[in-house]
Each structure stands twice: as structure tokens, then as C-alpha cells.
Amino acid sequence: MSTNNTYAATLLAATSYVTLSIDLITLIIGIVGCICNLITFTAPQLRGNACIFYLLCATVFQMVSILFIIPNRLAANNFGSNFDPHSIIYCKIHYYLVITLPESATFHILLSIMDRCLATSTTARIRAWSDLKIAHRISAGIIIVIFITNIQLIIFYTIYNNNCQITPGGFELYFGAGFSFIVAIIIPYILMFIFSLITYFQMKKTKRRIVPAPNILNQKQTNRFESQIIRIIVLQVVVSATLESLRLGSYAYSIFTSGNLTKTLTARVIENFTVQFGVSIYFLSLGISFYVSTLTSKYFRDILKKRIVDLYNHYCRRQI
């Protein structure tokens, strides 16, 4: 066996091991983290907050994404149970949901930071938009728009060369992939950055305002809550944007070199490694929001501890 073939075989084995490890970690810590977020965000004192509602919706979509996508990846990559090349219907629906479910989670994180931008405004009319009833309508509208606009994925994805993919080299490849990345990743994260900056400057203005003595304590408590919730959102945004940028780079390279038929075996194996690693890291970002944001906040840690104790007392002690 030549040196190139040996290197390619070694890298192929490493790709399988690395993606398997990351996917298993994502499945385990992702489900645990999402459950902890659900317990935290459904606390009685948080239920009336529009921002928490958006974070709760994001958590639900993250959990559904993990439960739907990761077992399929594990089965296809490690146990040979890949149904994509055998059913055109499964191929289309599978990739439609693989992109649409995480995108819905991303947009709800965007809505949460947008809500904090509205809530910290110095204008009462703008603050009035930070309302739970309005949040319900906006969330429903966003979900409908995302699921409708991504229907083009069902049209473009097909079985080509025994793989479920958009046909290489055609208009559909650049439009479908470009549209998905621009709408699902680039636009949301740019808007998150803009809303985060606006919120930061608005909070600085709020702190400089003169508050009557009787309201100082309430103002401090409100500022503490705002600071904590903005902190967990920004942390989640930074980590997710960093991990998704790895996927964006690897997938963009794969797309723009897909028409090159003269790639060597080593080049194809390296490309496969970068794409598979980028995808695994991207899905990992769906499962770590609890650990990098919620768990790092003392305010939300205290709520989680109290909720666990209350649930234990309610469901477990009653059975004793």
C-alpha cells in the first residue's frame, strides 16, 4: 500500500472515531442540558417573561434537533443504517428537518436578544413590545415562515451518486446552499451582534438614570435580572457562532470544489474529514447552551436547584 493510501486510510478511521465521539457526547450532554434548561425556564417566576419564552422555544427546538438528527447520524455513519440513498422521500424530508429544526432554534435565540433590546429601551412604546402575548404571535409567525421558506430544500435535494444531496454543479447547489447559510447562519448572527450592542448601550444609559430612593432596590433587582439574562444569551451566541463558523468554512470549501473531478484520494479524504468534523461541531453547539450560559449564571443556577428540590418533593416524597 502506498504512503498516500495509508495516510488516507488512517485519516478515514480518525474521521469515524472523532465524529462518533462528538456525536455521542452531543446526544448525552445535549439531552441532559436541554432538560435542565426546560426545568429552569418553566420556573413560576420566569413564565411571564417574553425573553424566557423565546429561550424555552429555542431549547425545545434544540432538543428535538438532537433527538432527530444525532441518532440518525450515529446509525448512518457507524452501523450502516443509512436510508437516504434508498428512499427519495426520506432523503428530502430528512435534510429538510436537519436544516429547519436547528434554524428555528437559532431564530428564537435571535428573538430573545431582540426582546432584551426592546425591554431595555428608554422609550415606553418600544418597551411595550416586550410582552408575552406578542411573543407568542411572533414565535408562531417565525416558525411558519422558516418552514415555508425551506420548502425549496425538499425540491432541490435528490439522490445523486447513491447520496442524498443537491446535484453538484447546478444552479440548485449554489442557490440552496447559499440561501440556507445566509438565512440560517449569517443573517441571524449579524442581527444578534447588532441587538447585543444596542442592548449594552441602552443598559448603560439606564444605569446612569436618576431613580427615586424608594425605587432603588427594585431598580437594582431589575438590572441584576437583565444583566444575568443578557449574559447567558450573549455567551450562547458567541459559542454557537464560533462553532458554526467551523462548519461554514468546511462546507463552503466542499461546495465550491464539488465540481473538481481531479481531486486526489488524499484531498477527498481531507475534505471529508473537515466536512464531517464541522457538521459534528455544529450539532454539538445545539447541546451545550445549558453548560456555557445557564449553568454559568448564579441567578439561574439557584432557580434550577430550587426547581429540582420542588419537583423532588412534589413527585418523589409523595410516593414514600
The pTM of this model reads 0.85
Contact between 213 and 154 (Cβ < 8 Å): no
CATH architecture of 3-209+220-319: Up-down Bundle (1.20)
User: Tell me, what's the pLDDT at 282?
Assistant: 86
Sorted by where each begins, the domain ranges of the chain are 3-209+220-319
Q: What is the pLDDT of residues 236-295, one digit of tens each?
A: 888 888 877 777 776 666 666 655 556 677 777 877 788 888 888 888 988 888 888 888
Q: What pLDDT score was predicted for residue 222?
A: 57
Q: Tell me if 247 sits within 8 A of 281, measured CB to CB.
A: yes
pLDDT of amino acid 28: 95
Long-range contacts of 81-85 (CB under 8 A, 24+ apart): 84/159, 84/163, 84/164, 85/159, 85/162, 85/163, 85/164
Report the alpha-carbon distance of residue 228 to residue 46 in Å, rounded. 13
For the chain, the C-alpha Rg in angstroms (whole number) is: 22
Spans in the chain with pLDDT lower than 50: 210-218
